[in-house]
Amino acid sequence: VTATPLTLGVFAAVIALTMGITFWAGRRNTGAGEHYVAGGQLTGFQNGLAVVGDLVSAAAFLGTVGMMALKGASSWFYVVGPFVALVILLTVFAEPLRNLGRYTMADVVASRFRSRGVRASMAVNSLLVTIFYMIAQLVAAGALISLLLGVPYWIAVIVVGILMTIYIAVGGMLATSWIQIVKAVLVLTCIALLLILVLAQYGFNPMALFQAAADAGKADMFGTSAGVLSGLNTLSVAVAVGLGTAALPHILIRFLTVPDVREARKSMNWSLLFIGFAFLTIPVLGYGAVALLGPDAIAAADRSGNLATLQLSNLVGGPLLFAIVAAVAFATILAVVAGLVIAGSGALAHDLYNQILRKGQATEREQVHAGRIASVLVAVVAIVISIAAQHTNVSVLGAMAVVVAASANVPVLLLLLFWKRLNTTGVISGIVAGLAGAVILILVGPQVMGEAAWYPLVYPSLVSIPLGFLGCWLGTILSKPRDDESSFEQMQVQAALGVKG
């Protein structure tokens, strides 16, 4: 697996295409509305493809294929969980959030609770979740580019970081959305092509492929291992991805880029169709990888299996397909990190700078300028951490972000929409409890402390999500509503009917 002029040429084409989109969008990126939510004028189909661009990330396209090849059937939780989460997104969150939000997640919560503390805690939470998720993408980017171009990992991470910063600083959400749309079409095409070529190796007989995978795999490729600790670990992963995917800030703000709830719903339906295809196919590619390459070759290339998709494409399609898949994986990473940067920079610039520091008085020009500076800051932090996190499976890193989102965002959003008594203190204490619980338990868990871990499970969702709910409840019952809170009825009218009373 080495760089060829062909590979370099396709990479250059991807960069040229995304830069072209960025500078096209940059001419239209004139105000805060355009910068943060593309003016709210995307169609449902466009936004649906952009959601695909967000969710079919490097963690799925690279990480899950490798994980399936090396760890077997337990990897199914990483694709079925997020897909199930889309039902919650469609039936519970998408439409009310479209009606309540403006540019960011904090705007949604601030539609009922105007306290600066609420906005600040939601903004900090959004920032942390997006940076966690960004690290997963940057680690994959660094591994991919250093392998293909022979450059050191840290240089590769910095180059991707610079590219993603340019996308956001120049083109804002419009550039991000169109990069994600183009990437979604490319990645879906690649997945379909790989599926056909892998199945062709077995006479288009899936059962022959599955048998070959079962014979070649070291792990149990179709069954799971049972045990108290493994059972709790599995459940904690499932809870995290099944709830957290529905509460990732960069996914939720996608519903602010469409004009109304009908288009938000259409977005979800299109994304369900395409993501369903992708997530159903990706495990089959994992079986193909282990059957055709063997687990030793996959682990030798990257011990976490992050390069299995590329190795597979080289085997079944030769240098041309390898170059295309590598470039599409690169585009995948660029598109996802762009979406993350816009979510993170929005929290920093719109919520913390404009709404809190400037009390909402910044001009349109100042808001866009602040968004651009914020994108640089967010990128720098993510790059530094990514350089230190080189040898971690990107699916695991992505799941960490999802745990924090599930623990802090899900309780607050659900109770915001459906619990009349929730008050300002309840929101803040819920966010703090969920966020702190998730982060602390990750830090004292096996992912960070190894065998000396104080908390035995890799994902803390079984504890941290209830902590988030408990924080909301305790904070509410132990305090009184503030004068600056909007009534539950006002919020409900806006969420359900799309009007401000």
Residues numbered 197 to 256 that lie near other proteins (CB under 8 A) are 207, 210-211, 213-214, 220-228, 230-235, 238-239, 242-243
Q: Which is nearer to other proteins, 41 or 479 (CB)?
A: 41
Determine how many CB atoms are found less than 10 A away from the CB of residue 225. Answer: 12
Cβ(171)–Cβ(21) below 8 Å = yes
Amino acid of residue 193: L
Residue span binding other proteins (CB under 8 A) among the ranges 298-306, 386-394, 452-460, 486-494 = 486-494
Judged by CB under 8 A, does residue 499 bind other proteins?
yes
CB of 287 to other proteins, least distance (A): 10
| Six-digit token string for 464 | 């941290």
Nearer to other proteins, 5 or 361 (CB): 361
The residue whose two tokens read 């493809």 is 49
B/e letters for 413-437, b = 16+ CB within 10 Å, e = fewer, are: bbbbbeeeebbbbbbbbbbbbbbbb
- Nearer CB in complex with other proteins: 112/143: 112
Residues numbered 301-340 forming contacts with other proteins, rule: CB under 8 A = none
**What are the φ and ψ backbone dihedral angles of 278, each rounded to 5 degrees?**
-65, -45
Least distance (Å) from other proteins to the CB of residue 50?
Answer: 18
Nearer to other proteins, 23 or 418 (CB): 418
Subset of residues 40 to 79 that bind other proteins, contact rule: CB under 8 A: 40, 73, 76-77
Binding other proteins (rule: CB under 8 A), the pick from 19, 24, 28, 102 is 102
Comparing CB distances to other proteins, the nearer of 314 and 494 is 494
What's the DSSP call for residue 486? P
> 228 or 452, CB closer to other proteins?
228
Q: Give min distance, CB of 334 to other proteins, in A.
A: 28
Span of 169-177, 186-194, 389-397, 479-487 interacting with other proteins by CB under 8 A: 479-487
Does position 189 bind other proteins by CB under 8 A? no
As measured in angstroms, the least distance from the Cβ of 278 to other proteins is: 11
Q: Is 87 in the site for other proteins (CB under 8 A)?
A: yes
DSSP assignment letter at 487? P
Residue span binding other proteins (CB under 8 A) among the ranges 5-13, 45-53, 274-282, 427-435: 274-282
Residue 113 phi/psi, 5-degree rounding, is: -120, 115
Exposure letters 189-205 (e unless 16+ CB within 10 A, then b) = ebbebbbebbbebbeee
Residue type, 396: V
Among 3, 6, 197, 493, binds other proteins (CB under 8 A): 493
Other CB atoms within 10 A of residue 296 CB: 10
Query: Would you call 150 helix, strand, or coil by DSSP?
Result: coil
- Which H or E run includes 496? helix 488-497
346 binds other proteins (CB under 8 A): no
Nearer to other proteins, 102 or 155 (CB): 102
User: Min. distance of Cβ 463 from other proteins in angstroms?
Assistant: 16
159/493 with CB nearer other proteins: 493
Backbone angles phi, psi at 39, to 5 degrees: 70, 5
Strand, coil or helix: what is 327?
helix
Is residue 395 within 8 Å of residue 67, measured between CB atoms? Answer: yes
Q: Given the complex with other proteins, which of 54 and 485 has the nearer CB atom?
A: 485
Q: Of the candidates 8, 84, 440, 443, which one interacts with other proteins according to CB under 8 A?
A: 84
* Under 8 Å between Cβ of 164 and 474: no
Which CB, 239 or 331, lies closer to other proteins? 239
Are 432 and 123 in contact, with CB atoms under 8 Å apart? no
189, 360, 364, 456: which one contacts other proteins (CB under 8 A)? 360
**Residues numbered 396-425 forming contacts with other proteins, rule: CB under 8 A:** 418
Q: Is 355 in the site for other proteins (CB under 8 A)?
A: yes
What angle is formed at CA 409 by the lines to CA 362 and CA 238, rounded to 5 degrees?
A: 145
Of 400, 255, 253, 413, residue with least CA distance to 341: 253
| Distance in Å, CB of 370 to other proteins, minimum | 15
Structure tokens at 427: 């929101």
Site size with other proteins, rule: CB under 8 A:
75
